[in-house]
């Protein structure tokens, strides 16, 4: 298995809803990442998990809450989002938090906040 | 924060070779140079990676000069399916790539 699987592929949520995005990989990678990508913009790093511990939080608002239950799973819990949070949310993984390994990205979750 | 510079867009025709250059003015000693391809509504896909000189795989070649201040991604004989955005993210020694604007390549029939 050489893929990063993200679910759901599409999500529409209201500003008072609570929802979660899920990311899964079975490549034995020990670093996992969340990126946010707005239309026609590059991906922006949100969080980095290395060996299941949060190592980087790029000043992301608390309405986004990451969780890494085990080395294969990464969740992003969403609560009280704003319409401007609508974007493509990408999960990625790498063998370690070292650039020379290269990243494997999932296909993303297209989130729309109404 | 180290950033890379690349052309915003390029046009080519089927069957031609395309070379996309990236400027890595603030590259750190321990940085690798990695290129990704992204189609609309999909995640970036790893294409090729190198540290110096030339690297070739089944889809592309990567040329890195001795000073490592730039890199050139070479796509041989492009097809319509190579229309995508190409990124050469930087990390500035932090190991975490920062994506710049990327190069939007359009391949025409």
User: Which member of A43, A107, A110 has the closest CB to residue B99?
Assistant: A43
Which residues pair with residue B72 across a beta bridge?
B21, B63
Portion 15-44 of B in contact with A at CB < 8 A: 31-32, 34, 36, 41-44
- State how far the Cα of B42 lies from the Cα of B19, in Å rounded to an integer: 23
Q: Answer yes or no: is pLDDT of A21 > 70.
A: yes
Nearest to A99 among B97, B99, B101 (CB): B97
B58 conformational bin, left if phi > 0, alpha if psi -120 to 50, beta if neither: alpha
Tell me whether residues A99 and B32 touch, CB distance under 8 A. Answer: yes
B17 to A39, B11, B77: CA distances (angstroms)? 28, 11, 5
| B1 interfacial to chain A (CB closer than 8 Å) | no
B50-64 pLDDT, tens digit each: 999 899 999 999 999
Of A41, A102, A108, the CB nearest to B43: A108
Contact of B98 with chain A, judged by CB distance below 8 Å, is answered with: yes
Query: What pLDDT, on the 0 to 100 scale, is given for residue A97?
Result: 65
Model confidence at B42: pLDDT above 60: yes
Contact B91, B98 (CB under 8 A): yes
Cα separation of A104 and A113, whole Å? Answer: 27
Q: Is the pLDDT of residue B1 over 60?
A: no
How far apart are alpha carbons B9 and B106 in whole angstroms?
8
Sign of the alpha-carbon torsion through A96, A100, A101, A107? positive
| CA B10 to chain CA mean position, Å | 13
Check if A54 contacts B (Cβ < 8 Å).
no
Question: Token pair 């391809």 is at which residue?
Answer: B37
């Amino acid at each position: 298995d050489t893929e990063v699987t993200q679910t759901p592929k599409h999500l529409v949520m209201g500003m008072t809803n609570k929802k979660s995005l899920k990311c899964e990989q079975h490549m034995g990678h020990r670093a996992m990442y969340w990126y946010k990508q707005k239309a026609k913009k590059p991906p922006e790093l949100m969080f980095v998990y290395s060996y299941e511990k949060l190592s980087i939080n790029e000043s992301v608002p608390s309405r986004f809450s990451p969780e890494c239950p085990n080395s294969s799973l990464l969740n992003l819990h969403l609560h009280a989002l704003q319409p401007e949070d609508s974007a493509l949310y990408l999960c990625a993984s790498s063998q370690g938090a070292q650039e020379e390994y290269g990243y494997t990205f999932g296909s993303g979750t297209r989130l729309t906040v109404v | 924060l180290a950033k890379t510079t690349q052309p915003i867009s390029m046009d080519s025709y089927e069957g031609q070779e395309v070379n996309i250059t990236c400027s890595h003015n603030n590259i750190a000693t321990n940085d690798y140079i990695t290129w990704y391809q992204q189609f609309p509504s999909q995640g970036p896909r790893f294409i090729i990676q190198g540290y110096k000189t030339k690297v070739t795989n089944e889809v592309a070649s990567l040329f890195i000069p001795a000073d490592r201040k730039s890199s050139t991604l070479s796509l041989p004989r492009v097809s319509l399916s190579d229309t995508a955005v190409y990124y050469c993210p930087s990390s500035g020694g932090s190991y975490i790539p920062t994506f710049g604007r990327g190069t939007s390549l359009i391949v025409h029939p």
